[in-house]
Structure 1
Amino acid sequence: MNSQVVPLPLLNLTFGVHAFKALALATDLGVFTELSGSSTTVPRFAERHGIDERPAELLLTACTALGLLHLDDSGTYTNTELSQEFLVRGKPYYFGGRVAVVDRHEYPAYLKLADSLRGNYPVTWDAERQESLFAPDDPVMVEFFWEGRYTLSAFSARRVAEKLDFTAIRRVLDVGGGGGAFAVELCRHHPGVRVTIFDLPFVCDLTRTRITAAGLADRIPFVAGDFFADRLPEGHDTVLLSNILHDWNEADARRILAICADALPADGTLIICESFVGDDKRGPAPAALMSLNMLVEAWGRNYTAAEYTSWLREVGLRTERGSLLDGAPTTAALVARKARP
């Protein structure tokens, strides 16, 4: 036995469930929102939430160890910079919606991961009864998924708006843009840009309120439709696909790319934002794990940049560059341009 090899990395992996459930419970209780501009102690926290001091201390200690709370020498807990920025409801990049989706929608499905592995089918929805994951009659999806979609995408959208050159871009078609995160961030950062959200009718209805609240209704119109059944609206110099393609199997992903290419004018731009698995299929871990998540969620996986480059070439688009989105849940943006005839 190699004495230099120890099981601690494996133990740390098993702690993942404990860490996530501590985050999910504290977020669901509104702990970080409660402590925005305030503080608490174990007795005060226990009294406020109607619980004994022992469980109160255990949860607060766990959150402190995870870097979500700060404990001073007087026994007072406050938010850390991380939780203050991303776990306080109402903040621009509030991440609690994504936490709720994983807790309510994805976490239970992992109890059936072996079923998905053996049967090669998703378990977060009824594949025999529903046409797809995105069903308007699924209460969990309606209540949590689209809010979680926004919170997962908002910071990535900000990075795209900051890092990519939008000088020549005026009209963006955000295909499957429900939630509105990319539309909002692009318009906020680039006053000359208008973004059309194309998505299913019920998703458009759920997203309108957020666009209105952002004060951008005059620059972010909606077109309701199904990209497999309806022609994409014309008049856009750029098409955006953000976290769409990984939901679909290879044949459907290539079909979506062809549909988007057909909607672009000559010299038009296609932007693909995804968590790309490396071309060598060795990682990175977040993209690989999100790809595994598709086993319980849908029929796709996280594809590689090399695969996208090949598929784009088949539909007349030339990959120009890729940009890493540092610190964002979506790892990179791939930019391609439609060739002139």
Structure 2
Amino acid sequence: MQDDVKKGPSAPRELRFEAQRIAFGPMMFHAAMLLRDLGILAVLKSAGAAGLRVEAMAHEAGVSVYGARVLIEAGLGMAFVEPVGTLEPEGPYRLAPLGSVFLQDAMTRANADFVRDVCYAGMPQLEASIREGRPAGLAVFGDWPTIYEGLSKLPPKAQESWFRFDHYYSDSAFPAVLPRVFQDRPRRLLDVGGNTGRFALQCVRHDADVQVTILDLPGQLAKAAENVTAAGFAGRVGGHALDLLDATQPFPTGFDVVWMSQFLCCFPEEDVVQLVRRGAAALAPQGSLYILDTYWDRQRNAAAAYCLQATSLYFTALANGTSRMYHSRDLIRCVEAAGLEIQEDVDGLGISHTLFRCRPR
């Protein structure tokens, strides 16, 4: 096989370079995180256009000259740094535009921390996860069937990065969706998979009369209760513990709104259908079921679609081994199979979220 590779046609130079970026990507990722977390990128930012020599940046960042040198040279390869004038081994170097984005961009920071702290150690088990239909990589954290049972028990750094990643994307859409959800003045709202109570608190602050029930696993409800009590809304936000995957357990009923935010992507299609069906059964007459999520086919740019396609690998290797970030048509098909129709379909909310307003046929 090696002879076949040697005799094969040469790839165009730019494609070969992109292939090498992928081949060495896992190593360069750690170098990028160290350039950020050891303060080297920040030191170069402070130095401005004049840049710094390697010895000076090592001193300011508190690392060895050797360590600074290998990281800066990796930074050159990633286009994080650039030489000032003629390239000399000892510099000076300055922060390049891409390095500035990696240092300061909130989305990039949330994604990078999530990959390092939550995904990286378990990702070598991706093949086993695909072959066996289970999150084989989750074993690096604990013996749970899915990550959701273990969220409250994750190591502090992993837990912090998981929630920051989740909240970064959901929080961006809440201001745009709240007026739509409350356009008919719902009095009772069921937040399915409400997690830490973040959306529930947004609701009770938005509308002084609404009562919210969070439906989730006991561990998540305990954390939500802490947050709700601390915010002073314990009288208007309650919890209902339920194994969401046990289809024999009905949801509580009589709600004007059933809300599912960044929730259905956590389940395979067959479970999506039964969850939507159970959500519809929880509605009061004339109630609406809302689904807020991101779909890789409806993103504004290739970078956003790439992030979602990569996030599917997290679901495979660590979350549950069976779900993914969906193409919108797949989710629509599940909604229809559950006996609902989509009455409103709104794109471009927050960071390219889509909101479906659904009602039983």
TM-score by length of 2: 0.68
Letter paired with 2:120: Y
CA contact (8 A) 1:199 1:224 kept: yes
Letter paired with 1:198: L
Letter paired with 1:300: S
Task: State which of 158, 168, 183 in structure 1 corresponds to 2:184.
Answer: 168
Partner SS, residue 234 of structure 1: coil
What is the percent sequence identity of the aligned residues?
A: 22
Structure 2: which 5+ residue stretches go unaligned?
A: 1-8, 86-91
Shift of 1:296: 1.0
Report the counterpart of residue 290 of structure 2 in structure 1.
Answer: 271
CA contact (8 A) 1:317 1:339 kept: yes
CA distance in structure 2 between the partners assigned to 1:64 and 1:205 by the alignment: 47
Letter paired with 2:330: E
Letter paired with 1:245: L
Report the counterpart of residue 251 of structure 1 in structure 2.
Answer: 270
Partner SS, residue 270 of structure 1: strand
Matched ranges for 1:69-84 at <5 A: 83=103
Letter paired with 1:168: D
Task: State which of 8, 12, 22 in structure 1 corresponds to 2:21.
Answer: 12
Task: State which of 320, 335, 341 in structure 2 corresponds to 1:312.
Answer: 335
CA distance in structure 1 between the partners assigned to 2:28 and 2:230 by the alignment: 34
CA distance in structure 1 between the partners assigned to 2:105 and 2:78 by the alignment: 15
CA distance in structure 2 between the partners assigned to 1:68 and 1:152 by the alignment: 23
Report the counterpart of residue 90 of structure 1 in structure 2.
Answer: none
Note closer, same or farther for the CA distance 1:110–1:158 as it changes in structure 2 (3 Å cut): closer
Letter paired with 1:236: F
Shift of 1:317: 1.7
Shift of 1:107: 0.7
CA distance in structure 2 between the partners assigned to 1:55 and 1:123 by the alignment: 34
Note closer, same or farther for the CA distance 1:154–1:121 as it changes in structure 2 (3 Å cut): closer
Report the counterpart of residue 326 of structure 2 in structure 1.
Answer: 303
Partner SS, residue 174 of structure 1: strand
Matched ranges for 1:1-341 at <5 A: 6-14=15-23, 16-22=25-31, 24-25=33-34, 31=39, 51-56=63-68, 59=71, 83=103, 86=106, 96=110, 99-126=112-139, 130-136=144-150, 139=153, 141=154, 143-144=156-157, 146-164=159-177, 165-166=180-181, 167-170=183-186, 171-186=188-203, 195-212=212-229, 217=234, 219-229=236-246, 230-278=249-297, 284-297=305-318, 298=320, 299-325=322-348, 328=351, 331-339=352-360
Shift of 1:248: 2.3
CA distance in structure 2 between the partners assigned to 1:182 and 1:85 by the alignment: 24
CA contact (8 A) 1:70 1:80 kept: no
Partner SS, residue 7 of structure 1: helix
CA distance in structure 2 between the partners assigned to 1:23 and 1:5 by the alignment: 22
Note closer, same or farther for the CA distance 1:316–1:213 as it changes in structure 2 (3 Å cut): same
Letter paired with 2:289: L
Note closer, same or farther for the CA distance 1:44–1:113 as it changes in structure 2 (3 Å cut): same
CA distance in structure 1 between the partners assigned to 2:35 and 2:201 by the alignment: 28
Shift of 1:203: 1.5
CA distance in structure 1 between the partners assigned to 2:13 and 2:93 by the alignment: 39
Report the counterpart of residue 5 of structure 2 in structure 1.
Answer: none
Structure 1: which 5+ residue stretches go unaligned?
A: 88-93
Note closer, same or farther for the CA distance 1:195–1:60 as it changes in structure 2 (3 Å cut): farther
Shift of 1:325: 4.1
Partner SS, residue 135 of structure 1: helix
- Count of residue pairs the alignment pairs up: 325
CA contact (8 A) 2:344 2:358 kept: no
Partner SS, residue 291 of structure 1: helix
CA contact (8 A) 2:212 2:236 kept: yes
Letter paired with 2:285: A
CA distance in structure 1 between the partners assigned to 2:73 and 2:236 by the alignment: 46
Shift of 1:272: 2.2
TM-score by length of 1: 0.72
Q: Per residue, is there more helix in 1 or in 2?
A: 2
Greater CA radius of gyration, 1 or 2?
Answer: 2
Shift of 1:52: 1.6
CA contact (8 A) 1:154 1:185 kept: no
